A and B are shown apart, each in its own frame.
Chain A
């Protein structure tokens, strides 16, 4: 069975500081990996995805993530955080059959002015 762990439940960073959100997955084959963001009272929006190829993927809103197979990780990064980035972030792994997308528990990001 596939699973995702996001070790950090809450993270607080200052506006303008860099950000890294951690994600570790468990899946027996090459995974399909995603990061979604949820703003308060909203549904989820896709930030970026990894299917194959270049292990550093670029997403919307200046986010990027790096797939590291040896560490089973897919960490999300942003060089300079904006106050509007305050939200909850979810890492997810999809199976090859395309029927299951498993989410991590989420990381809530707070941004200090």
Chain B
């Protein structure tokens, strides 16, 4: 089954404790992206990757890192999480680019930073 898989789905952590949210897709998509969703703000793009070893900042990259060493994986790293990073995070992928067609989303990872 074609899917985007995120882990963990739920996480409660404390300020400053490094964490990684993994994202994996099995559709051989070139484009992958991370969004955060906050009430009233919709989804805001954090980082995206057009292909392996090619990553770039979205609209709200501060406090986050990403890597794209393999086509299928696109982890989101919070080196020193802060409470303002409490949010619902979505990973998404598409064959060629965000505007090329349907963006396939994972089920989301709800992160709480205390």
Binding site for B on A (CB under 8 A): 4, 6, 9, 32, 34, 36, 41-46, 49, 90, 94-106
Contacts A44-B90, A44-B105 known; A94 to B41 CB distance under 8 Å? Answer: no
**Is the beta-carbon distance between B45 and A106 smaller than 8 angstroms?**
no
Report the Cα distance A32→B94, complex, angstroms. 15
Residues of chain A within 8 A (CB-CB) of B42 are 4, 6, 90, 103-106
**Is the beta-carbon distance between B102 and A49 smaller than 8 angstroms?**
yes
Considering only CB atoms, which chain A residue lies closest to B103 in the complex?
A101
Contacts A46-B102, A49-B102 known; A99 to B107 CB distance under 8 Å? Answer: no
Report the Cα distance A68→B98, complex, angstroms. 22
Size range of the chain B interface in the assembly: 20 to 34
**Binary interface encoding of chain B residues 28-49 relative to chain A, with 1 for a CB under 8 A from any of its CBs, else 0:** 0001010100001111110010
Q: Looking at the assembled complex, report how far the CB atom of A46 sits from the nearest CB atom of chain B, in whole angstroms.
A: 4
Could you jot down 5 A-B contacts, CB within 8 Å? A34-B103, A44-B90, A90-B42, A94-B98, A99-B48
Closest 10 CB pairs of A and B: A98-B97, A94-B99, A43-B105, A101-B98, A103-B42, A32-B99, A46-B102, A103-B43, A105-B42, A98-B99
Report the Cα distance A35→B90, complex, angstroms. 17
**Is the beta-carbon distance between B98 and A98 smaller than 8 angstroms?**
yes
Contact of A90 among B43, B59, B100, B106 (CB under 8 A): B43
Contacts A90-B42, A102-B45 known; A42 to B99 CB distance under 8 Å? Answer: no
**Is the beta-carbon distance between B40 and A95 smaller than 8 angstroms?**
no
Considering only CB atoms, which chain A residue lies closest to B44 in the complex?
A103
Contact of B96 among A36, A44, A98, A103 (CB under 8 A): A98
Contact of B107 among A9, A43, A96, A102 (CB under 8 A): A43
